[in-house]
Chains A and B, each alone.
Chain A
Amino acid sequence: MIHMSEVSKVYENGSSALNNINIDIEKGEFVFLVGSSGAGKSTFIKMIFREVLPSKGQLIINGRNIMTMKEEEVPYLRRGLGIVFQDYRLLPDKNVYENVAFAMQVIEAPRREMQKRVNSVLELVGLRDKLKSLPSQLSGGEQQRVAIARAIVNSPMIVIADEPTGNLDPDTSWEIMKIFERINKSGTTIVMATHDKTIVDAMKKRVIAIEDGCIIRDEVKGAYGYED
């Protein structure tokens, strides 16, 4: 699914974000990405959906070679990925249904399929009864659930989440994690950057720790491993 070999990223201002990363993430894995702020987690995440292009090395996502990919192919790479952000990034003037349907609309999915699919993902995240609500009428947890529904509505192979529980209280965070776990059970690969020690320690998933642009730890049933 995700294959990185000898991947490095040096930004234009000369700062080195990642250094010689070698990693393989297989289909159906659930991977936590941990590390202090500025360690290179964000760069790692952004490289997967080609927001950031590696300076060096080999990077293959869903069988697509990122290094040789043309600009026009990027949208098709992203259709195979679902992205969830810490700040939800919902459209404030569209309701829950429209926010999720938007992701299918812009890739010109057939309308029939759209209705069915949007309803089923909203069911999955538990928001079937809030179709008509605007984001401003929802709690933070609910907004994040809409964002997750939007990320998975096009049935991506990989879901990438950058601090998805960063703005949420512990109880709500757990609800969100349960949704991710459900998505993962259906065979979707999940890569999540997080600072949430409790969650990482409790879930016993693969943990990749990054410090100063290098992978310092990669454990199959890992723990957070830091004292915050």
Chain B
Amino acid sequence: MPTVAITGLRTFVGQRLAERLRGEGEPEGFRVVGLDLRRPHRLEGRVRFQRVDLTDPAVPLRIAEILEKEGVEVVVHCAFRTFPTADVEADHELETIGTLHLLDACAAARIPRLVVASSTQVYGARPDQPAFLEEDHPLRGHPEAHQVRNLVEVEHILDAWQARHPDTAVTVLRRCWTVGPTVDEPITRYFARPVVPVVLGFDPRVQLIHEADCLRAFERAVREPHAGVFNVVGRGAVPLGVLLRRAGRRPLPIPGPLLRRFGELPARVSAGDPPDAFFDYLRYPFVADGSRAAAAFGEPVYTTQEAFASFVGSRRMRRYR
């Protein structure tokens, strides 16, 4: 039975991927080693949990030991904050420095494959982005969104690291905003509102992926070798206003300058950053081209609109439960 190690077991991707890979009694199931700070209660007994603090300077040695002892073949790195905290320094320590530590461990343990969960937000939402961003487009990020900044740095580090360690196949999966019945992330909380604040005068094309499509791509990236960068995105892009309206949501346009005063509005979305760090992603497009991922991991089942409909429907049902 092959063994996979997952960092960030309590993130959406980490947890759900672990569940899928375990494959309950199926012969092709994986042995999952979980590396995280806290014990994941939902996965109790199903993963071999190892308490690891990625920010600890001595951690590379410890992780390397674990990886070698457990005979890990694939490392999945998703130790990125689901909800960025106001402590920008601490987030940087975990996300950027933590990745450096993990990479040191992977190099020491000669891990054959590494899968990293990134985001299409690293391209940056700008008025001058092409309609469909391809994987080799420069990562312009957002100057004020600290998590995006960290991810861009992580990707540059990975790039340089891959050049020095050609024996490890690095797979970077940049996923777009993920929605679905069970995801709980800043963007799902944002879209779950009955009235969704948007930027007055702007209506960018947005792109969503359904959680099932997203997880399937991650699973295939673990099961089969696919080195390189992939945009894991849903089919099609829909203007934000249409997306909301078709799903029965009401957009509330707020003038751009006023948004700065409404800073606390998306406080949970962009903790520690000025509101523009979040609202720029609702102002300008950052739509990625998913054809490379579709060829490697299969065509996504849901379109952007269908993914959103599924999400809205499930949230509506939740109220009656």
- Do chains A and B stick together as partners? no
B residues with a Cβ closer than 8 A to A are: none
